[in-house]
């Protein structure tokens, strides 16, 4: 269940963000607030600045103007990184011959935290995370031998093994077939509702909006819509994006 905004904590705040690359504006005056319990889809065509926005929120890029607060702090001062999970767009573009088992992939994040973790605690955390994403039977399989959908579930396990409060995903279903996409989104929906995990998903696939999301933001250099799922459906935001000739994946439901 999503908490009412008035009672829920604000996890992320973005104000007046400007970012340009090579003199070309990528983001212009973007302001956004993400509340605990949100399942927010940031929709936009390719090249609309979605990935850049995520990277600025996470502190991987610095904005030209404006500011970000991650759990109330600027990203550069935010050290409780275990509260944040991130699955980048290129997560599945790793070297397919990389010699890492599924277990090692999940453990690498657990062991990279600020606190030391004992081997039994690590085993338990890895097992619970892999069970949550229904991948426990593959724990000893080399990551490169899994399908795209299975790899994405392992990366979610890697992120949730550290018990984050918010999970960022950048185009997570690229290269995942339609049936596994549904399964993947169902998993995210479950984590959001039962696991009380705030989810921010960046995509150009509008199909996700009808199914699982409770908030929507539309971005194309500027943020031209940010509201609830119902507000999005009754607004002209989707039509506006389509009318703009932007490349979006549309689904009929």
Partner 1 sequence: MDAFFEYAFLQRAVGAGVCIAVACAVLGVFLLLRKDAMIGHGLSHIAFAGIALGLLIRQWPMAVSLAVAVVAALGIMKLKESAGFHGDTAIAVCSSLGMAVGVILASISGRFDASLLSYLFGDILAIEPAEVVLSALMALAVLVITAVFYHRFMFMTFDREAAQAAGVPVRRLDALMSVATAITVVLGMKIVGILLVAAFLVIPAAAGLQTAVRFKSAVGIAAVVASASVVVGLAAAYLLDWPASGTIVVVSFLIFGILFLFRRRA
Q: Which residues of this protein are in contact with partner 1, per CB under 8 A?
A: 55, 58-60, 79, 81-82, 84-88, 90-91, 94-101, 104-105, 107-114, 142, 144-145, 155, 158-159, 162, 168
Instruction: Report the Cα–Cα distance between both ends of the chain, in Å, rounded.
Output: 23
CB of 73 to partner 1, least distance (A): 13
Identify which of residues 51 and 220 has a Cβ nearer to partner 1 in the complex: 51
CB of 92 to partner 1, least distance (A): 10
Own/partner pairs, 73-78, CB within 8 angstroms, 24+ separation: none
| 118 CB neighbour count, 10 Å cutoff | 8
Please provide the DSSP assignment of 52-104 as one string: HHHHHHHTSS--SEEEEEETTB-GGG---GGGEEEE-TTGGGS-TT---BHHH
Identify which of residues 108 and 250 has a Cβ nearer to partner 1 in the complex: 108
CA separation, residue 167 to residues 11, 122, 196, 202 (Å): 11, 20, 11, 11
CB of 93 to partner 1, least distance (A): 9
Identify which of residues 6 and 79 has a Cβ nearer to partner 1 in the complex: 79
Identify which of residues 59 and 195 has a Cβ nearer to partner 1 in the complex: 59
Identify which of residues 35 and 91 has a Cβ nearer to partner 1 in the complex: 91
CB of 151 to partner 1, least distance (A): 11
b/e burial code for range 88-114 (CB count within 10 A of at least 16 → b) = beebbeeeeeeeeebbbbbbebbeeee
CB of 36 to partner 1, least distance (A): 19
Pull the structure tokens for residue 76: 């550069």
Nearest to 223 by CA among 47, 49, 7: 49
CB of 100 to partner 1, least distance (A): 5
Burial of 8 (0-12, 13-18, 19+ CB in 10 A): middle
Identify which of residues 59 and 189 has a Cβ nearer to partner 1 in the complex: 59
């Amino acid at each position: 269940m999503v908490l009412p905004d008035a009672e829920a904590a604000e996890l992320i705040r973005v104000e007046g963000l400007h970012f340009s690359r090579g003199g070309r504006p990528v983001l212009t005056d973007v302001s956004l607030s993400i509340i605990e319990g949100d399942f927010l889809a940031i929709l936009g065509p390719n090249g609309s600045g979605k990935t850049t926005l995520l990277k600025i929120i996470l502190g991987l890029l610095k904005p030209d103007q404006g500011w970000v607060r991650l759990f109330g702090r600027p990203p550069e001062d935010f050290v409780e990184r275990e509260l944040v999970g991130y699955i980048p767009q290129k997560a599945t573009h790793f070297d397919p011959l990389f010699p890492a088992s599924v277990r090692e992939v999940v453990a690498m994040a657990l062991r990279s935290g600020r606190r030391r973790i004992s081997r039994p605690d690590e085993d338990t955390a890895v097992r619970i995370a892999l069970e949550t994403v229904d991948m426990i039977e593959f724990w000893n399989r080399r990551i490169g031998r899994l399908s795209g959908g299975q790899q994405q579930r392992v990366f979610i396990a890697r992120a949730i093994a550290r018990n984050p409060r918010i999970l960022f995903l950048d185009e997570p279903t690229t290269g995942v077939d339609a049936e596994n996409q549904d399964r993947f989104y169902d998993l995210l929906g479950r984590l959001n509702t039962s696991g009380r995990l705030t989810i921010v998903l960046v995509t150009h696939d509008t199909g996700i909006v009808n199914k699982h999301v409770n908030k929507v933001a539309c971005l194309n250099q500027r943020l031209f819509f940010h509201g609830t799922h119902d507000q999005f459906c009754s607004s002209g935001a989707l039509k506006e994006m389509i009318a703009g000739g932007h490349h979006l994946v549309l689904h009929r439901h």
